[in-house]
Amino acid sequence: MNDNKVYAIHPDDLPIRFIMEDQDFALREKQRKKFHQELRNAFPILWRKHENDTDDSFSQEYDCFTQPSTDSGWNELIWKTSESLNNLIQEITAIFSRNDLPIAVQVKEKFGTLRFHCDGHWDLYPKEFNQNFHRIVSDSAYESEKICEECGKPGEIRINSPDDLKEKLTLIKCRCEHCWIVDAINLANFAHKNNRTKKGDKDFYAKKVEKLSQMLSILESK
């Protein structure tokens, strides 16, 4: 974890996943920046840099990070969605100036699904264009519910821990079974190493890691 990071509350009180994601943030950020640049090169209309932006990744105009904040398992879906939207936008380039065309402002995960946010002059565009544009965005969100955000294999939205379906995970994620278990192992292992307890049991997470590791071994042997 970055020792220079300032938390509003003590790290011991933070959700485990929040701290874990902060640990590998630098590596993921590097991968996301590379993918973001590839999107800009391939789809220069949709992924153009806003005229008021002063940074490659942070949009001053929209006060958000324009580069995708999702994991690489959804890259293919984001690419396909971007291609469809960019092709659709080309249909109205003769009517509107470049700065008035729709622009991607935020691509993120929320509640286990892909959220593809774009801004534009929706009250000026043709009605059919708006309908087709928002249908593409809506379809991508629906499709993301069946794709593991981590690895890109078939998945589903996971709410509970794989070893105990009565136990809620700290965040909702779309995962394949393998990544779901690996995710839970990492969370439990981190909690145990940092002396987290649950239900008054100091070995709760150690036992959880053991049980989850057995589940992963069985899955990988199939």
pLDDT in tens, 56-92: 666 666 666 678 888 899 999 999 999 999 999 999 9
The domain limits of the chain are: 11-144, 157-221
SS (H, E, C) 37-72: HHHHHHCCCCCCCCCCCCCCCEECCCCEECCCCCCH
pLDDT in tens, 198-210: 778 888 889 989 9
pLDDT in tens, 47-59: 998 776 777 666 6
More confident residue, 100 or 222: 100
Q: Please name the helix (run of DSSP H) or strand (run of DSSP E) that holds residue 18, with its range, or none.
A: helix 16-23
pTM above 0.75, yes or no: yes
Burial class (CB in 10 A: 0-12, 13-18, 19+), 202: exposed
- Quick one: which of 54, 50, 58, 37 has its CA closest to 101? 50
CA dist 77 and 82 (Å) reads 8
The residue with tokens 């949709």 is 46
φ/ψ (deg, to 5) at 208? -65, -40
φ/ψ (deg, to 5) at 102? -55, 145
